[in-house]
Structure 1
């Protein structure tokens, strides 16, 4: 299994839990807290543990962080916790992907920019999905397949507006 499959699997909480702007902000903040704490707590262990022990420590830490996050959501904001469901636990996949794919050099700067982008996408998806569901009466926007379609449209718009030509591996051949 390729490590890049974790990136695809980490889209599940992003697409499922952004039905409104409030839920998008909540799952975005949960992602920032969970990934940030995971990286911060694993930083001293990165050099000291072997590969297998490091993975086990990472998984145990993720289980503890996900449980604490879910309990904190239920204690301080029960309606938000009920609306998000089990999507905050799926943020463990985002934590694993960020841990495996980030380079050693410039790790924190790249992590901060990636988490900022995840938060911005959560807010954008939440706001657009809420507007489409409430004001445009498009019920598909409030479902997960509608979020996937909307994310594809946003990525297509980003690629269209981005300056420069596509890489040669992306260009089609006749």
Structure 2
């Protein structure tokens, strides 16, 4: 089984940076992508053994596009404001499903899939929390009509609400992760004279 390649990671990066400006947007996209990807995995499994490679690709495209379109319609019906802000990115979910199918992701063990989903979800939520806190000065203002959110300061750094600020913040998070893993690796090494 192949691991997801750079193309699938690049598609995930577009979703990550585009939908993580607010915690509400990230939670909405996480819910939408979880539902579509799970429904896709359930529906494509019985078709996989019955179709050839080209037939499977066509079925995969049709199924992913249909599920994403249905989820988009439901998003328009129940969360129009969210859909107007982030509906553009929901089409990438269908493309992500097709690329993951092509790379054998859905044929991996369930633990591997859950690990990938957990890591990508954690990164999305972490980036959304940091971008909203640093960029707007508050957290969770759009989650409920009654709750005004957690306000830390009145104005944030507007750069972090934009995609270039998300790239900078993602780079800082990756640098912090690398520094932590490197320091753990160095502490485990033993030096003998």
Is the TM-score greater than 0.5? yes
From 48, 51, 54, the counterpart of 2:56: 54
Closer, same or farther: CA 82–105 of 1 in aligned 2, 3 Å = closer
Closer, same or farther: CA 105–112 of 1 in aligned 2, 3 Å = closer
> Which structure: larger Rg?
2
Give 1 or 2: higher helix fraction. 2
How far the C-alpha of 1:105 sits from its partner, in A, is 4.5
Kept after mapping to 2: 8 A contact 1:129/1:142 = yes
Kept after mapping to 1: 8 A contact 2:106/2:113 = no
For residues 106 and 41 of structure 2, what CA distance do their matches in structure 1 show?
Answer: 13
Name the counterpart of 2:178.
159
Give the TM-score, by structure 1 length. Answer: 0.85
For residues 164 and 96 of structure 1, what CA distance do their matches in structure 2 show?
Answer: 37
Structure 1: 4+ residue segments shifted above 3 A: none
Unaligned runs of 5+ in 2: 138-154, 187-193
Give the TM-score, by structure 2 length. Answer: 0.77
Name the counterpart of 2:165.
146
For residues 108 and 94 of structure 2, what CA distance do their matches in structure 1 show?
Answer: 23
Kept after mapping to 2: 8 A contact 1:31/1:91 = yes
How far the C-alpha of 1:93 sits from its partner, in A, is 2.9
For residues 27 and 105 of structure 1, what CA distance do their matches in structure 2 show?
Answer: 24
Asked whether 1:104 is paired with 2:123, we answer no
How far the C-alpha of 1:132 sits from its partner, in A, is 0.9
How many aligned positions are there?
163
How far the C-alpha of 1:15 sits from its partner, in A, is 0.6
Moved more, 48-57 or 139-148: 139-148
> 1:77-126 deviations in whole A, cap 9, x for unaligned?
111111213111111232233323327341x2211221122221121111
Unaligned runs of 5+ in 1: 166-174
Closer, same or farther: CA 105–37 of 1 in aligned 2, 3 Å = same
Secondary structure (helix, strand or coil) at the match of 2:21 reads: coil
Name the counterpart of 1:169.
none
